[in-house]
Amino acid sequence: MSTMTTATVIDPRIRSLVTPEGVDLRVRLATASERAGALLIDLAILVATLIALTFVVIGAFSAARASGGSEVIAVIWLLGAFLLRNFYFTAFECSARGATPGKRFMGIRVAARNGGALSADRIIARNAMRELELYLPIGFLFTGAQDVGALIVLCGIVWCAVFVFFPLFNRDRLRLGDIVAGTWVLKAPKRTLLPDMAQHSENAAFKFTETQLDKYGVKELQVLEGVLRDHDAEAMRLVAERIRVKIDWRRPSRELDSDFLRAYYAALRRRLEQKLLFGVRKRDKHDNV
């Protein structure tokens, strides 16, 4: 149990998502900057698509030497802009990945807050709200007015700003569309299965006593895991020296830092995992269980 509370304390962005099988997936919320980045990418794609379509039509009509190209272009800009503006986000978020290209690039996705299926009506509702949160403020920014009109526009901008910056003022980074649709945006990282650092690390040349292995806890073990994975010679030298002092390790003349660290890591992990099996989790070096 203590693990769960420490995890929540360490990262305020972790939320529990309990699957019907009863396992907490401990998902992580996307940050505001990731979401803004995703939005900018998507908007760039929208504009680029429209421009590309226009060029295609111009090219096709001039190649065929036909007239009426301007009519088709007008329809493309009217209908195309409308369809892209309203359905680009919806269509992509309806796919299995639940993310627009921009979101995919940033490694985030949309999910239902209750952990259920991300149904089409949720996605439509969350994107219909973009009208208020995104397009209306943009529209206001391009409205020219004078005197009283300018004041009204200014009021409009302030009013819109409430919606635009809404995600920054709540715990779950929900924008208005998320509230209305019951969704949130989560990190959806793709991780590869890294090699286990304990594999082929245990070395009969190193024999650690129980006292030496009781000096550290889980937290230090995981820091050590990171150091071993990074494989930075300088960092390894420093860490090896620290550990040697801490556990009173007499260094044989030709001992490599990496060998020592790997062996200590494997031994420490064996020791801590053994304790874990008996229900004892030594959190860190200060945790005297």
- Residues of this chain, 95-114, that bind other proteins according to CB under 8 A: 96-98, 109, 111, 113
- 13-48 in b/e burial notation, b at 16+ Cβ within 10 A? ebbebeeeeeeeeebebbeeebbebbbebbeebbee
Binding segment toward other proteins, per CB under 8 A, in 20-28, 45-53, 59-67, 256-264: 20-28
Residue 29 contacts residue 13 (beta carbons within 8 Å): yes
**Residue in 43, 45, 132, 157 binding other proteins, rule: CB under 8 A:** 132
Instruction: Give me the phi and psi of 112, to 5 degrees please.
Output: -75, 140
- 62-100 in b/e burial notation, b at 16+ Cβ within 10 A? eeeeeeebeebbeebeeebeeebbbebbbebbbeeebbb
Q: Is 66 in the site for other proteins (CB under 8 A)?
A: no
Q: Count the residues of the shown chain that bind other proteins, applying the rule CB under 8 A.
A: 73
Query: Could you tell me which residues are beta bridge partners of residue 183?
Result: 112
**Closest distance to other proteins from the beta carbon of 251 (Å):** 25
Give the span between the Cα atoms of 172 and 16, in whole angstroms. 12
**Closest distance to other proteins from the beta carbon of 250 (Å):** 25
Binding segment toward other proteins, per CB under 8 A, in 43-51, 89-97, 142-150, 246-254: 89-97
**Residue in 52, 55, 62, 119 binding other proteins, rule: CB under 8 A:** 119
**Closest distance to other proteins from the beta carbon of 124 (Å):** 4
**Closest distance to other proteins from the beta carbon of 149 (Å):** 14
- Nearest CB to other proteins, comparing residues 236 and 272: 272
- Nearest CB to other proteins, comparing residues 149 and 226: 226
Convert residues 238-257 into a mask of x (bound to other proteins by CB under 8 A) and - (unbound): --------------------
**Residue in 197, 227, 236, 261 binding other proteins, rule: CB under 8 A:** 197
- Nearest CB to other proteins, comparing residues 121 and 250: 121
Q: Is 49 in the site for other proteins (CB under 8 A)?
A: no
**Closest distance to other proteins from the beta carbon of 226 (Å):** 8
- Nearest CB to other proteins, comparing residues 141 and 248: 141
Instruction: Give me the phi and psi of 272, to 5 degrees please.
Output: -70, -35
**Closest distance to other proteins from the beta carbon of 127 (Å):** 9
